[in-house]
A and B are shown apart, each in its own frame.
Chain A
Amino acid sequence: MKQYIFKYALLLGAVALWSCEPKVDEFTPSTGTADFSKFIAIGDSYTAGYTDGALGRRGQEESFSAILGKQLMYVGSDSYNQPFVLSESSVGSTQLQPGVFNGYYELNIVDGSLKPQPTVGDANIFGEQVASAENQNYGVPGAKLIHLLAEGFGNPAAGFGNYNPFYTRFMSQPMASVLGDALAAQASFISLWAGNNDVLAYAMAGGEGDAITDPAIFAGAYSQALTALVANGAKGVLGNIPAVETIPFFNTVPYNALPLDQATADMLNAAYTDYNAAADANGLPRIEFSAGANALVIADESWPLMGIRQIKADEKFLLTLPTDKIANEGWGTQVPVPAEYVLDATELAAIATATAEYNVTIKSLSEQHGFAHADLNMKMKELSTTGIIIDGHTYTGAFVTGGVFSLDGIHATGRGSAIIANAFIDAINAKFDASIPRANINDYNMVEFP
């Protein structure tokens, strides 16, 4: 009899034990000293969810603000409503032909190598009317900080090119401003990451179009916006402006993207004999070629000698430089690369100075208003230099392969957005003694290969 009792005891014990998972000490999110009950995000294309060169539902769902909004639901927020694109497609700001706008870029094989190419977008997206009092995403692609205060920023009556059609989609009325609409949402917690385009618009035009916002005007507008936003006691987080050098749009095409053999180099050197004689006479650098990688010849109208010279190692070509013209049309050798594809040393210095001043403003206003401060500049610098190892993979600022930047070379992939969202979360946790769970980077997407 005894042995049966033992056998039963063993059997029961076994059944009881192998059904039991290890007991886990659960993580408990906490709000700290902040109130996350009503969160809104204000900003530009990053906040909106622009990715792969266009705005579409996929990018909106994986924007840093959407990821942040989702994580804030662990600490008292109950929604993150967005002006979602209704179309299945996407739309960007580049006109492929009159009236035809680009959609998402995708990687295709072109001449045997992978290249990002635009798809055709759906311009009807600009006509979608998705304004809602419940909206929580006030991110407008292309908006500068100073635009956020502009009334009628989305008013089509201003005529094509003079209003922002991404804002038109969700503005409350034609003369509304982004800030005014955001104020009406009566948020308790705000993320404000704006000011990128105050330098980027100029930088993306190769310094030949648009203008850098004067840092004093930037500071005034930023302060005015923030003062309005905190009037009813809201708190929040400010993001600062990454240096353009950290963004692949400006550091993917190398300055010396010109491979030559000795014979071609000799031939080119012969062609620049007169130029070099004049250069020597005036104490200016020569234009010289050798076998191997060579610096391209660029147009620089401020240059005293014929307005052309070779690009310097610390100057930048834009990602949009049509590199096939180097081989096929003599760009950089017989034909100087047009200035719109180049950020020269003067332009880069102007951008760097403005960015640094903007960042001083953002930092000091965050302290003045008791806001958290997310140092995206630092984060991007880290990515573009050492890279960041997260959960088994090393992320870098490299184009296509770095994991962070999408196919437009400026905006983030889903994973890049999650890395940015976590930078915001870390800043908020530190400032408000909160415990918002970080997003899982590996849950989001990177560049999709064909």
Chain B
Amino acid sequence: MKRIGLFFGLFVLGFQLFAEGYQVNLQGNRQTGMGHTGAGLLMGASSMHFNPGALGLMDKKYDFSFGGSLIFSNNTFQKQAPSTYEAQSDNPMGTPFYFYGATKISDKLAVGLAITTPYGNSLKWGDDWDGKYLIQDISLRAIFIQPTVSYKINDKLGFGVGFMAVNGNVDLNKALPLQDMNGDGSTNISGNTWAYGFNAGLSYKPSDKLSFGISYRSEVKVKLDEGEATFNVPKDLYDDETSFPAKTKFKAELPMPTNITFGVGYQINDKLLLAADLQYVGWSAYESLDFDFENNTPILEDSQNQRDFENTMVYRLGAEYAMNEKFQFRAGIYYDTTPIPEDLLTPETPGTDKIGMSLGCGYQINDKLSLDASLLYIHGTKREDGYAPTNFYGTYYSNAVIPGIGLNYSF
């Protein structure tokens, strides 16, 4: 009896996506206010994230920028009809941040350091919600540390590259369908690791009014070799040979996909700047999420979880209007398509096509210091779908409100 042959769709791990999902780009409050455009703009030190080619064209000697945002996100799940079941997530507030520091070493050469959090999110459905065997809560955070160098080829053209060292951290909980007097068992999966990649960009400013940029960010494969899985199951079901070990190491790999962004900026007049970005995200790199457990038993087998994501596009428009010398008003909008195909939508990653609407303002405190504030509202289109391998279907609704603030200091 102790050798029980259970099948668990055990390890389905996901994360809220950075492009689509609440893990939106929030890597500069000026850009966020403008629909997170920026690949085609010259935005000083924060260009290291948006387009490192633009850094070489910066006009100040030193430029520092830091800030952060607060993500208030809501997810609602409504079970497939006929059902009255609804669940609301209780997501912890997300706190992405950024820091940029850059300096011009010579007229031609600029160097800088960027610390950003373009991935990372928290989603909490609760311990006892209906999808508990798929996910209870998940927290993922990736910190990108990126030394960057940029070269001004001529007054109109800049080229830059950055090296990205990524620290990724994941922690998730899900219930196991084995019950004792305290209810369901559970498992916790966690890990922390480093991974590496690079970005590069070309910035071209043919006239005072017009600027273009193209930027590339490489895929970063986050390989977890020493993840830890712990199991909380009824006491007589622990057995390293035949059942559940109390804990075991595992290996898993998660791609952070390639991004290619083309951007354009147009200064209509002294007061009005328009920007547009077209962002391509190579999500097809995410085919499957596989867990390789060090200690396999008949009921703890390695698990393969189909993902088969599709490449996506994000379309962004933004504008900045200078009310006067000290104050700018910004607005933007974007449309972000989901990479998740039909029948592969999980509650860990309840992705859907999203519309983002932003407002922002900038205030020049003195000739060196300026303040940017932004407010982004994301509306996820309602999506009626589910994950076929675990037969969990319903309608997902989502939205998020993200206020942010940042300071720039340059001289």
Contact = CB atoms under 8 A, between A and B. Distances in A.
Interface stretch (A126-134, A233-241, A439-447): A439-447
A20 interface: yes
B133 A29 contact: no
Given A3-B327, A389-B391, A440 B177 contact: no
Contacts of A113: 1-2
B7 A27 contact: no
Interface string B62-86: 0000000000101110110111111
Interface stretch (A212-220, A328-336, A391-399): A391-399
B130 A109 contact: no
A113 B1 CA distance: 6
A392 B79 contact: no
Given A24-B78, A401-B4, A442-B130, 12 more contacts: A22-B399, A24-B397, A27-B78, A109-B236, A114-B2, A115-B1, A392-B391, A394-B9, A435-B82, A437-B83, A445-B179, A449-B234
B84 A21 contact: no
A25 B383 CA distance: 12
Contacts of A163: none
Contact of B236 (A18, A114, A435, A445): A114
Contacts of B180: 448-450
Interface in A5-27: 6-7, 10, 13-14, 17-18, 20-25, 27
Contacts of B82: 27, 29, 425, 429, 435-438
A403 interface: yes
A46 to B, nearest CB: 21
Interface in B303-340: 323, 327, 329
Contacts of B5: 398, 401
Contacts of A387: 7
B161 interface: no
A24 B75 CA distance: 11
7 contacts: A24-B395, A25-B395, A114-B236, A391-B133, A393-B177, A437-B84, A449-B180
A272 interface: no
Interface of A: 2-3, 6-7, 10, 13-14, 17-18, 20-25, 27, 29, 74, 109, 112-115, 387, 389-394, 398, 400-401, 403, 425, 429, 435-438, 440, 442-443, 445-450
Given A391-B133, A449-B180, A13 B375 contact: yes
B363 interface: yes
B153 interface: no
A285 to B, nearest CB: 31
A401 B75 CA distance: 33
Given A3-B361, A27-B84, A392 B236 contact: no
Interface residues of B, number: 57
A438 B394 CA distance: 13
Contact of A392 (B2, B72, B131, B329): B131
Which 10 residue pairs spanning A and B have beta carbons closest together? A392-B133, A449-B234, A22-B397, A18-B401, A18-B72, A389-B391, A114-B1, A17-B401, A113-B1, A393-B177
Contacts of A25: 78, 382, 395
B42 to A, nearest CB: 25
A21 B373 CA distance: 24
A450 B234 contact: yes
Nearest to A402: B6
B181 interface: yes
B297 to A, nearest CB: 14
Nearest to A399: B1
Contact of A449 (B74, B88, B237, B361): B237
Contacts of B178: 449
A6 B372 CA distance: 13
B102 interface: no
B390 A392 contact: yes
B122 to A, nearest CB: 15
Contacts of B78: 24-25, 27
B392 interface: yes
A392 B392 contact: yes
Contacts of B380: 22
B368 interface: no
Nearest to B79: A440
A403 B7 CA distance: 11
A390 B177 CA distance: 12
